[in-house]
Structure 1
Amino acid sequence: VRWVADHRKHHRFSDAEGDPHSPWRYGETVPALMKGLWWAHIGWMFDEERTSQEKYAPDLVKDPVIRAISRQFILWTVLSLALPALIGGLVTMSWWGAFTGFFWGSLVRVALLHHVTWSINSICHAVGKRPFKSRDRSGNVWWLAVLSCGESWHNLHHSDPTSARHGVDRGQIDSSARIIRWFEQLGWAYDVRWPSRSRIDSRRSDDGNGSRRKTETAEAA
């Protein structure tokens, strides 16, 4: 619930005053941006000011199932850290196997996941191409696409936040959209908003000639 509240507040004030994690928080000079990148990457999570869940996620606060899942966060985190060590130890029948499983399956996995996620907040709001109209500085960073499962096509996400697919142009890898499509086919996801060509083209930025650059839209995940 807290993550959703932070994310909704971020979209409301993206790269402006009130954004919980904008890299432009301290200004546009190089020293200010370096400080801002650190803030957007990890520093903001240690800020004493907390986003109001009642204000930005009232629907989730009122949902008993979501509240129960949110309360169990620590439990599932501990289990996810312990399970790789348990598997490694049982497979090899050794403490070294347990340590190896914990190191790679727990520590490295969590560190990689977090830094990729944090890079969306920092790097993707500081650099990258901006083919779509948005009121912030969100950009597309291609070299993060595979690790972030398509989240680094971040410019479209801020141009069209409800779109289930971020990588809408040819060659843009978006494995998250593929998984959502599978869940939809299995009946686990519904009311999914897939982008249409007209919807995407209406959000494209004007190029230097004042005309819209149209490329093939990936309407199906």
Structure 2
Amino acid sequence: MTPPAVSTPEAPTRADQKTAATTSGDTTAAGTEGFETGTRGGEQKHIWEQIALGLFIGIPFLAVLAAVPVAWGGFLGWRDIVIAIVFYTISGHGISIGFHRYFTHKSFKPNRPLKYALAIAGSLAVEGPVVRWVADHRKHHKFSDRDGDPHSPWKYGTSLGALAKGLLHAHIGWLFDPEQTPQRQYAPDLLKDKDVVKVSRMFPYLVLVSLFLPAVIGGLWSWSIEGALTAFFWASLVRIALLHHVTWSINSICHAIGTRPFKSRDRSGNVWWLAILSQGESWHNLHHSDPTCARHGVLRGQLDTSARTIWFFEKMGWVSDVRWPVKERLEARRVSAGA
């Protein structure tokens, strides 16, 4: 991640954060440094974290490149497809519903078991622990497509070359930035939540679960080593890589192209062909126009499986205070026909 040049208020020093936390009464933030271990990420990314990140991005991506010849060779069965779809659906909605719409934007209030389930499901996407993910995304919204945004494709300018460089940065380059978003500043509420911190501490173990549980299921289902290996390839490596790049495409593609029917202070757009794979996250223009709205695909024909799942949770009595779209609020944000 090439850090954007921001002033002290956007990138405070550790001493500044301690002082601010103390004066604001945030004893969790101002206390010991243990929260950094608890959330698996301090304010500087260590070299071993950079190496691990490269491996967790590179190895699944190589699996995607090998997917066609592997499938052509007969090493793809219906069991692999079923396991991959199930794990993609669970981990993908863990990101879209849990990490994004709940933990970042508080679009609804879940009961405690569902809160745990969403935090664990999102961690299975292997996109980082929940507190780190939320801090980065909240900073993105604060500075969206402006100086200070961790992953804007417009970081280097608007020329074709600058946009190409910016798209690479927004999609994947920003992940390698050694400068980390201050968790005390952007996610103090999560640092005070013992349940969330507990799941963040579990992140390395949940990564192992995400990687090897599909293989265990595939092996037991087929009662063979080959079944375990093919499930690991498709439902672990390929599934993780696909979900990674779909999520990162919201940062890059959905801030470079797409329709913009709603007013927003950035360049967020709706990209319809990403809607199913992103669980409705690619209806990105409305999200940046009304970030706390629990439904992103608010117009006719805009499929949003995350919103439908939240609706199901509400009907089951597992969530409350859902911030559904309000007609008057939407109309006030619509771009006029003559604009």
Answer yes or no: is 1:122 the counterpart of 2:247.
Answer: no
Q: Which residue of 2 aligns with 1:216?
A: none
Q: Which residue of 2 aligns with 1:218?
A: none
Deviates more, 1:179-188 or 1:103-112: 179-188
Deviations 1:65-104 (A, max 9, x none): 1100111111112112111111111222222111101011
Partners in 1 of 2:263 and 2:179 — Cα distance? 30
Match of 1:159 among 257, 265, 289: 289
Q: Give the aligned residue type for 1:78.
A: L
Q: CA deviation at 1:169?
A: 0.7
Answer yes or no: is 1:93 the counterpart of 2:223.
Answer: yes
Q: How is 1:138-217 mapped onto 2 (pairs within 5 angstroms)?
A: 138-208=268-338
Higher helix share: 2
Q: CA deviation at 1:162?
A: 0.4
Question: Between Structure 1 and Structure 2, how many residues are aligned?
Answer: 209
Q: Which residue of 2 aligns with 1:132?
A: 262
SS across alignment from 2:260: coil
Deviates more, 1:137-146 or 1:70-79: 70-79
Match of 1:78 among 192, 208, 212: 208
Answer yes or no: is 1:45 the counterpart of 2:179.
Answer: no
Partners in 2 of 1:149 and 1:138 — Cα distance? 17
Gaps of 5+ in 2: 1-130
Q: Report runs of 4+ in structure 1 exceeding 4 Å deviation.
A: none
TM-score (norm 1): 0.92
Q: CA deviation at 1:174?
A: 0.5
TM-score (norm 2): 0.61
- Greater RCO structure (CA 8 Å; 6+ sep): 2
Answer yes or no: is 1:30 the counterpart of 2:174.
Answer: no
The root-mean-square deviation of aligned C-alpha atoms, in Å, is 0.9
Partners in 1 of 2:215 and 2:257 — Cα distance? 38
Q: Which residue of 2 aligns with 1:110?
A: 240
Deviations 1:144-189 (A, max 9, x none): 1111111100000000000000111111100100011111222222
